[in-house]
Amino acid sequence: MAEHLILADSQSVRDALTFVGRAAQVNDDGVRVQASRGVLAMLAPALAPRGLFDSTPLILVLRVLNADPELECDLTVETLTESTDPCALRLPEVAVARTWANVEVPHGGWTQTAEISEEVLHDEARAGSADVAHALPLNPGRDVLNKVRGKVWGEPSAALANLPRGVAFASSMFGFLHPTGHSASVWRAVRWFRMSHENGHVLYRGPVAEGLTQIRRTGPRR
């Protein structure tokens, strides 16, 4: 594995380190880094189910930066650190395997469906955080914390175009929200939803299907 990620400039390095730092504040699930044709895509989970029966929604956060045109990679790491080169990031010695990193987000076919004020997102994030704090017992374990967070942040909100409240949580935790005067656009491609901010994106994987599939007769008629 290469030792460094070469980015376009020192500002891109600072932005990448900020993203990694915010991801670490949310959980310890790592960051997926994909580079090709001068673009570095950084993907991290704000929320992710931890088992087959976990109802926590899958909500990812995407940050796109300029990189060295010759940089090619696709790996998931626990963190990235500074290098002596101001335009480079140091990679850890080994990559990690994470279930969330195996999903593939659509590259095209997105259609805009809504636009939401970032002030609304800020209010939803603050209210959700209060609900999580209120629902937690004293000294909760990891399992209890994950269950409460999944329930609160998985609730759909009419104020968020019926997306789960977790998209507001992700937008806030990764520093995408401005105090006033900005909005985020909502896009859909098949079961995926993308909330696009000025400096990043929040991705939500919706349910596989709604309703029941009609039963078809396959045998010979009698």
* 70 close to 5: Cβ distance less than 8 angstroms: no
Q: What's the mean per-residue pLDDT of the chain? A: 91
Which amino acid appears at position 199 of this protein?
A: N
As separate numbers, helices (DSSP H) first and strands (DSSP E) second, the chain gives 4, 13
Return the pLDDT at 213: 44
In order, the DSSP letters of 141-187 are -HHHHHHHHHHHHTSEEGGGTTEETHHHHHHHHTT---SSS-EEEEE
Output the CA angle 24-31-49, nearest 5 degrees: 80
- The confidence score (pLDDT) of residue 13 equals 97
Please name which of 79, 80, 96 lies closest in space to residue 88, comparing C-alpha atoms: 80
Q: What is the pLDDT of residues 179-209, one digit of tens each?
A: 888 999 999 999 999 999 999 999 999 986 5
Cβ-in-10-Å burial (0-12, 13-18, 19+) of 138 comes to exposed
Q: Report the C-alpha gap between 41 and 30 in whole angstroms.
A: 14
**Cα 24 to Cα 36: distance, rounded to the nearest angstrom:** 25
> Which residues of the chain are in CATH 3.10.150 domains?
4-101
pLDDT single digits (tens) 38-71: 999 999 999 999 877 788 999 999 999 999 999 9
Question: Residue 2: which pLDDT band, with cuts at 50, 70 and 90?
Answer: low
Please give the CATH number for the structural domain made up of 4-101.
3.10.150
The pLDDT, as a whole number, for residue 54 is 83
| Least confident among 12-26, 85-99, 156-170, 198-212 | 198-212
- Least confident residue range of 26-30, 140-144, 151-155, 181-185: 140-144
- In the predicted model, is pLDDT for residue 221 greater than 60? no
pLDDT tens readout for residues 104-147: 999 999 999 999 999 999 999 999 999 999 999 988 888 898 89
Q: How far is CA 78 from CA 65, 68, 152, 210, in A?
A: 19, 22, 26, 35
pTM, full prediction: 0.90
Please report the pLDDT score of residue 180 as a whole number.
Answer: 84
Angle at which helices 10-26 and 166-173 cross, to 10°: 130
**Is the model's pLDDT at 210 over the cut of 70?**
no
Position 209 scores a pLDDT of 53
3-state SS class at 1? coil
- The confidence score (pLDDT) of residue 208 equals 66
Residue 158 DSSP code: G
